[in-house]
Amino acid sequence: MTPEYYILIIGFTFGFYMAWNIGANDVANSMATAVGAKAITIRQAIFIAGILNVVGAVFIGSHVTDTIRKGIVSTEILTDPHLALIGALSALLAAALWVSFATWKSLPVSTTHSIVGAMIGFGIMAGGVDCIQWSKLSAVVLSWVISPVFSLIIAVAMFKIILKFILSREDAFQWAIKLSPGFIGVTVFVIALSFLFKTPLGSRMAIGTPMALLLALLLAVGFGLAGKGLLRRFIRDHRTGVEEIFRRIQIGTSCYVALAQGANDVANAIGPVAVIYFLVKTGTVGTEVPVPVFLLFFGGVGIACGIAMAGHRVMETIGSKITTLTNTRGFCVDFAAATTVLLASKLGLPVSTTHAAVGGVMGVGLARGLEAVNFAVVVQIMVYWVLTVPAAAITSMVIFKILQFFL
């Protein structure tokens, strides 16, 4: 085999390792609250999330990727193919190592921010500090605040609504059934809009905002009414009925987040692999490269393997170590995280699903008082959020130098 194919094998290995780490760490975004609230078991969560991530990656994931994620590094450094190859390899491995370390510590971090940090490290080594778009780094810093705060506020508001109109009433079960079309409808509305606006599939469909709102509204009304009929038919026990109603809705929201995660996050692992693949195949690379379906599948399988082998670690932190979750609280967290990602994206604000999920969990905890939240765990998580970019950047710089010596 030629040296290029050895490089390609290394690239695929690093890419699979990054995808594995996305599964191991980011699965908590979708399934942690459902497991923490005992809506599903860890085994069920791993099975569901594994399948949905593969489906999301292959059928909804983008078939085109930016060579430089988030445009944080000037594309001028890609003019030298050899340099670009070493950079893509070092960025992949550096980001994967940081996420792997965070997973080992059972702490949720943003895989997108890890890749951004790693690309900064590569950019500094290849073209100096001047090739970094430092203004765009402010978006990453903003997301540390915007994502959790938005989500916290929405989670508290939703929990207070459920408390006022359902849980505080004597006939809570009947009120839950009566109002279920509203809760199911608003959830479906957010999910439908998220698919149309926030996924690569939605971009390819190119549906305008008025049409997207109309479609989401029709789906919300349809699912809301159908959901009420099914809940009335299958849930008979009034004692556990309220939590059971929200358990069913929560499983739906968790499945959506897992599907969207596969669609959106697979680019963090497969983007650099696609760059390496086309550099080896053609010797050049533009600002965007096509992503073959087999690469999307490869990334999806890597994510699924990470979920199966190590997903329980971070899931346990978000699902049970920050605060105690019930199905109603878990629903509020999932709804808050999904709504935050949708709203912030439409407003052009930086957002992280990981940070939004943690903010939502804090929100439902704070709704019961300060003593209900384990702030020691929250502070530890936030420290790792801040460390993500510099840690990935420094690691990338070291790996870049090592690879430059050998390749």
For residue 185, give every residue at least 6 positions away whose Cβ sits within 8 Å of its Cβ, in sequence order, or none.
220, 221, 223, 224
pTM of the model: 0.89
Residue 345 in this model has a pLDDT that exceeds 80: no
Q: How confident is the model at residue 73 (pLDDT cuts 50, 70, 90)?
A: confident
For residues 382-407, average pLDDT: 93
Name the amino acid, one letter, at 306: G
Token pair recorded at residue 88:
């893509």
For residue 374, give every residue at least 6 positions away whose Cβ sits within 8 Å of its Cβ, in sequence order, or none.
321, 322, 323
pLDDT at site 69: 59
Report the chain's terminal Cα–Cα distance, integer Å.
15
DSSP 298-344: HHHHHHHHHHHHHHHHHHHIIIIISS---HHHHHHHHHHHHHHHHHH
C-alpha 88/C-alpha 272 separation (Å) is: 5
Note whether 107 and 317 are within 8 A (CB).
yes
For residues 390-394, average pLDDT: 96
pLDDT at site 297: 92
pLDDT in tens, 194-217: 888 776 777 777 788 888 899 999
Residue 117: which H helix or E strand, with range?
helix 111-127
C-alpha 18/C-alpha 100 separation (Å) is: 9
Range of the domain at 238: 3-406
Average pLDDT, the chain: 88
Token pair recorded at residue 360:
């939502």
pLDDT in tens, 129-177: 888 888 888 888 888 888 899 999 999 999 999 999 999 988 888 899 9
Note whether 77 and 123 are within 8 A (CB).
yes
Name the amino acid, one letter, at 388: T
* Percentage, residues of the chain above pLDDT 70: 96
pLDDT at site 400: 95
C-alpha 386/C-alpha 102 separation (Å) is: 12
How large is the C-alpha radius of gyration of the chain? Answer: 21
Burial zone of 59 (CB within 10 Å; 0-12 exposed, 13-18 middle, 19+ buried): middle
pLDDT at site 1: 59
Note whether 59 and 388 are within 8 A (CB).
no
pLDDT at site 107: 95
- Which of the two residues, 266 and 96, has the higher pLDDT score? 96
pLDDT at site 131: 85
Residue 97 in this model has a pLDDT that exceeds 90: yes
pLDDT in tens, 237-281: 666 678 888 998 889 888 888 887 888 788 888 888 888 888 888
Asked which of 114-128, 136-150, 279-293 is least confident by mean pLDDT, the reply is: 279-293
Cα separations in angstroms, 178 against 125, 163, 224:
61, 15, 11
Strand spans (E) along 176-320: 288-290
For residues 349-371, average pLDDT: 89
**Tokens 């194919």 — which residue?**
5
**Tokens 């049409």 — which residue?**
211
* Percentage, residues of the chain above pLDDT 90: 46
For residue 26, give every residue at least 6 positions away whose Cβ sits within 8 Å of its Cβ, in sequence order, or none.
108, 111, 261, 265, 303, 353, 354
Name the amino acid, one letter, at 114: S
Note whether 271 and 65 are within 8 A (CB).
yes
pLDDT at site 282: 80
For residues 90-115, average pLDDT: 94
Cα separations in angstroms, 168 against 82, 176, 223, 383:
65, 11, 26, 37
Token pair recorded at residue 358:
């943690």
Token pair recorded at residue 142:
């903003």
Q: Give the total number of structural domains in the chain.
A: 1
For residues 41-68, average pLDDT: 83
Asked which of 42-46, 340-344, 346-350 is least confident by mean pLDDT, the reply is: 346-350
